[in-house]
Amino acid sequence: MVLVSGGLDSMVAGGLAREAGYSVVALTIDYNQRHWVELEAAVRVAGMLEAERHIMMPIDLTRFGGSALTADIDVPKDGVQPGIPVTYVPARNTIFLSLALGLAEVSGARALYIGVNALDYSGYPDCRPQFVEQFQKLANVATKAGVEGDRFQVETPLLAMTKADIVREAARLGLDAGQTWSCYDPKGHQHCGRCDSCRLRAKGFAEAGLPDPTDYAEPPLG
Amino acid sequence: MVLVSGGLDSMVAGGLAREAGYSVVALTIDYNQRHWVELEAAVRVAGMLEAERHIMMPIDLTRFGGSALTADIDVPKDGVQPGIPVTYVPARNTIFLSLALGLAEVSGARALYIGVNALDYSGYPDCRPQFVEQFQKLANVATKAGVEGDRFQVETPLLAMTKADIVREAARLGLDAGQTWSCYDPKGHQHCGRCDSCRLRAKGFAEAGLPDPTDYAEPPLG
């Protein structure tokens, strides 16, 4: 079970699941209608992972508001700041992993791959190791499978990686990073080059010493 | 923040939230299009609780399959059996509480009321105290509010109640149980009288010694 966002991180997480010998069931949560380019990328990534099943699940988190990604708040362009950014979506990874858990239980999948990482994580509380550990504990008391001893494992192979490491892993696994999408503020099919996510992406390629295949509307700043 | 299903339990949970001095934000998850009568009941219950905001969130868990409530599996009519029943929806309460957590964080609510109970709970793993405790731990590492020390509390005032206790609580709180919906297999606007949920409901009124206002298609069996 791989949560596929269409970004670089979930592509690499899925590639590592395949390298570990798993076939892939992919779940993409469509929580933010503004960024349909992400969903196109998710379809490409699921194809690259040869997913046996790819479910696109729409859920309208814009009804909750409270984030630059789901409400009418400007995406910040002034670089990565300390603290939890306005692009934080309340309880996002909790909601995503819960849905992945439901689909995993039905599909017979017991390994849940999510491409969170704690180093270049932009300050989100639900990308930290503590969060992942608590979710795994929850999964095994919350489900029929868990209660019956068929335990779930939440796999976060990117947790300790830098963005440069992730870029290198993509290359090592033969996965085309150019097919993925990172930008929070798309300019058509171009990445903006200014949001936190574009900055981290560009920095990753630069630090990995690998060519950046991304089409940026403006040259990315560090 | 009250998860309002339209059933007796969530109505009483919401009534106890009000009695504790809270105003109510209500969330109803529309995960099962077959039972629109439940959604009508949820609207009535949110009205009775004078909710300041009532969000109906559609999420199509039928895409996952795997339960008599969300897939084309017959609802059992032979009485409550030991073990986890086929009406179990994989990760349902995990998904519901995750969504409630997201809405609570945005709304400023820190008390999450859910009407689970462990005695007459029909065998669902995600209605047990262990599940509730783990979810609360998760909530406080998963969210910006939790990390910043503004802690969430999951309130399950019905956890140790029998259905008879819940029926008595509804009467004590002046809430009309006749406005709620329990049946898994509706016959139009009538409760079937045969599914696990109808049996537990009827038994609750009988044991409480209170008149059962429910319109059953067939006389309920114990």
Percent of chain B topping pLDDT 90: 68
- What does the pLDDT read at residue B117? 84
Does A126 touch chain B if contact means CB atoms closer than 8 Å? yes
What band does B165 get if pLDDT is binned at 50, 70 and 90? very high
At A196-218, the pLDDT tens digits run 889 999 999 999 999 999 999 99
Average pLDDT over residues A76-80: 61
Does the pLDDT of residue B135 top 70, yes or no? yes
The shortest C-alpha distance from B144 to chain A (Å) reads 6
* pLDDT for residue A31: 82
For the cut 80, the answer to whether the pLDDT of residue A107 exceeds it is yes
pLDDT digits (tens, 9 = 90+) for A39-65: 999 999 999 999 999 999 999 888 887
Q: Does B217 fall in a domain?
A: no
Domain-located, residue A213: no
Total CB pairs under 8 A between chain A and B:
134
Task: Please tell me chain B's helix, strand, coil percentages from 3-state DSSP, rounded to the nearest 5.
Answer: 40, 10, 50
Q: Are B103 and B27 in contact (CB under 8 A)?
A: yes
> What is the total count of domains within chain A?
1
Three-state DSSP at B2 gives: strand
- Do residue B90 and residue A102 have CB atoms under 8 angstroms apart? yes
DSSP-based three-state secondary structure for B131: helix
pLDDT, position A62 = 81
Q: What is the dihedral of CA B39, B139, A32, A158, to 10 degrees?
A: -140
User: What are B46-86's pLDDT values in tens digits?
Assistant: 999 999 999 999 998 888 876 655 555 565 566 655 565 66
| B147/A contact by beta carbon, under 8 A | yes
Q: Is the dihedral of CA B185, B188, B191, B197 positive or negative?
A: positive
B21-26: average pLDDT = 97
The Cα B50–Cα B11 span in angstroms is: 12
A101 vs B89: CB contact, 8 Å cut-off? no
Choose among A58, A65, A125: nearest Cβ to B141: A125
Please tell me if residue A31 touches chain B, with a CB cutoff of 8 Å.
no
Q: Are B76 and B85 in contact (CB under 8 A)?
A: yes
Instruction: Please report whether residue B216 resides in a domain.
Output: no
Give the ipTM of the model, two decimals please.
0.85
The verdict on residue A201 lying in a domain is: yes
- At residue A124, the pLDDT reads 82
Mean pLDDT of chain B: 89
Q: For A183-198, what is the mean pLDDT? A: 92
Residue B219 lies in a domain: no
Q: Both tokens of residue B97? A: 């509480």
- Contacts (Cβ under 8 Å, ≥6 apart) of B195: B75, B76, B77, B87, B183, B184, B185
Helix axes B92-107, A92-107, angle to 10 degrees: 170
Tokens read off for A166: 């992730």
Per the domain annotation, does A21 fall within a domain?
yes
Of A89, A95, A137, the CB nearest to B134: A137
The CATH number of the domain holding residue B91 is: 3.40.50.620
Domain that holds residue A174: 2-208
Residue B66's pLDDT is what? 65
Q: Is residue A221 situated within a structural domain?
A: no
Q: Tell me, what DSSP letter sits at residue B134?
A: H
| Beta-sheet strands, E only, within chain A | 2-3, 25-30, 53-58, 111-113, 153-155
CB contacts of A64 in chain B (<8 Å) are 55, 102-103, 106
pLDDT of residue B154 exceeding 80: yes
Q: Which residue is it, tokens 């923040």?
A: B1
Taking each helix axis from N to C terminus, what angle separates A129-142 and B129-142, rounded to the nearest 10 degrees? 160
Q: Nearest Cβ partner of B90 from A60, A130, A143? A: A143
Tell me what percent of the residues of chain B surpass a pLDDT of 70. Answer: 86
In this prediction, residue B62 carries a pLDDT of: 82
Predicted local distance difference test score (pLDDT) of residue A94: 95
- Interchain contact, B95 vs A92, CB within 8 Å: no
Tell me the shortest Cα–Cα distance from A55 to chain B, in angstroms: 8
Domain membership of residue A186 (yes or no) is: yes
CA separation (Å) from A131 to A13, A18, A110, A126, B140? 17, 24, 18, 6, 9
pLDDT band at A89 (very low <50, low <70, confident <90, very high): confident
pLDDT digits over A165-184, tens only? 999 999 999 999 999 999 98
CB contact under 8 A, A125 and B138: no
